[in-house]
């Protein structure tokens, strides 16, 4: 081909319409929240519990995520272990584990709670599901030894399983009262003295939100 022919061929190639590439769509990340009444939204109007408020918070920050409310009021770590395989459905990419409050209220041996949580995290490992462990802080009602064992099981298990960890589910609504006693801040607690009201849940969401975002990032990776 002569010089003129080559020039014409190049010009035709450059002038040809370029096929637009379809944008790669980010896949929705599905997160199951395995917990008790604190997760289920006990005592709150529909839409004001932890899962719907957290969903709204994440939506507002542009995340393509769907939360599943797997909270059951009154549940213990044993109950969570019994239903974890059902919770880890085929579409679940990540799981929030927020259990142990009822174990504490019942004075269950922390060794038993620890074994149950270990079983839950092992099930998630086997399913290839990323996990965020949200801990609780024990009262000193049962003594320092109980308190130390209870508080330690969450970070230790999270580390052992390579899970993300947030220290205290109720930390955002706890503090010192006027008498200098540590406990829940009354303006964020329902009349039962145990469960957060809607404003309390909003504070909890702001507190745990960044850890949930980290879970979404992990769970969304191919």
Report pLDDT digits (tens) over 11-49: 444 444 444 444 334 689 999 999 999 999 999 999 999
Q: Look at 175 and 133; give whichever has higher pLDDT.
A: 133
Residue 2 placed within a domain:
no
**Which residues are catalytic, by number?**
37, 192, 195
Residue 6 placed within a domain:
no
Other beta carbons within 10 angstroms of residue 2's beta carbon come to 7
CATH number at residue 162: 3.40.50.1110
Q: What percent of the chain has pLDDT over 90?
A: 80
Residue 195 placed within a domain:
yes
Distance of alpha carbon 169 from the chain centroid: 10
Task: Report the candidate in 75, 168, 179 with the shortest Cα–Cα distance to residue 117.
Answer: 75
Domain count, the chain: 1
Q: Convert the pLDDT of each residue in 130-167 to its tens digit.
A: 999 999 999 888 999 999 999 999 999 999 999 999 99
**Rounded CA separation 207/197 (Å):** 15
- The answer to whether residue 210 scores a pLDDT higher than 50 is yes
**Rounded CA separation 132/84 (Å):** 14
**Enclosing H/E stretch for 86:** helix 77-87
Residue 165's φ and ψ, nearest 5 degrees, are -140, 135
> Which residues constitute the domain of residue 197?
26-219
Residue 198 placed within a domain:
yes
Beta-sheet pairing, 94-98 with 130-134: parallel
Over range 84-105, report the average pLDDT.
96
Other beta carbons within 10 angstroms of residue 110's beta carbon come to 23
CA torsion 203-206-208-209 (nearest 10°) is 150
Residue 192 placed within a domain:
yes
Residue 69 placed within a domain:
yes
**Rounded CA separation 147/142 (Å):** 7
- The answer to whether residue 114 scores a pLDDT higher than 60 is yes
Q: What average pLDDT does the chain have?
A: 89
Task: Report the candidate in 77, 65, 67 with the shortest Cα–Cα distance to residue 35.
Answer: 77
Residue 216 to residues 90, 97, 104, 137, Cα–Cα distance (Å): 17, 14, 29, 25
> What pTM, to 2 d.p., does this model score?
0.86
Tokens of 119: 């079983």
Residue 61 placed within a domain:
yes
Residue 53 placed within a domain:
yes
Residues 6+ apart with CB under 8 A from 155: 135, 165, 167
Instruction: Using pLDDT thresholds of 50, 70 and 90, give the confidence band for residue 1.
Output: low
Over range 80-94, report the average pLDDT.
96
Residue 88's φ and ψ, nearest 5 degrees, are -80, 65
Tokens of 144: 């320092």
Distance of alpha carbon 163 from the chain centroid: 11
């Amino acid at each position: 081909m002569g010089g003129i022919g080559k020039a014409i061929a190049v010009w035709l190639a450059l002038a040809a319409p370029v096929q637009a590439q379809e944008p790669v769509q980010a896949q929705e990340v599905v997160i199951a929240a395995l917990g008790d009444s604190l997760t289920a939204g006990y005592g709150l109007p529909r839409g004001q519990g932890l899962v719907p408020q957290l969903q709204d918070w994440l939506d507002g920050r542009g995340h393509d995520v769907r939360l599943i409310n797997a909270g059951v009021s009154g549940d213990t770590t044993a109950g969570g272990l019994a239903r974890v395989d059902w919770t880890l459905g085929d579409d679940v990419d990540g799981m929030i584990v927020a259990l142990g409050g009822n174990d504490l209220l019942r004075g269950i041996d922390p060794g038993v709670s620890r074994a149950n949580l270990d079983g839950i995290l092992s099930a998630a490992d086997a399913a290839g599901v990323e996990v965020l462990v949200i801990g609780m802080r024990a009262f000193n009602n049962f003594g320092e030894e109980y308190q130390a064992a209870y508080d330690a099981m969450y970070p230790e298990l999270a580390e052992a399983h390579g899970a993300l960890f947030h220290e205290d589910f109720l930390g955002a609504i706890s503090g010192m009262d006027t008498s200098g006693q540590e406990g829940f801040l009354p303006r964020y607690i329902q009349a039962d003295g145990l469960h957060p009201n809607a404003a309390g849940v909003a504070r909890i969401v702001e507190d745990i939100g960044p850890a949930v975002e980290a879970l979404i990032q992990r769970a969304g990776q191919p």
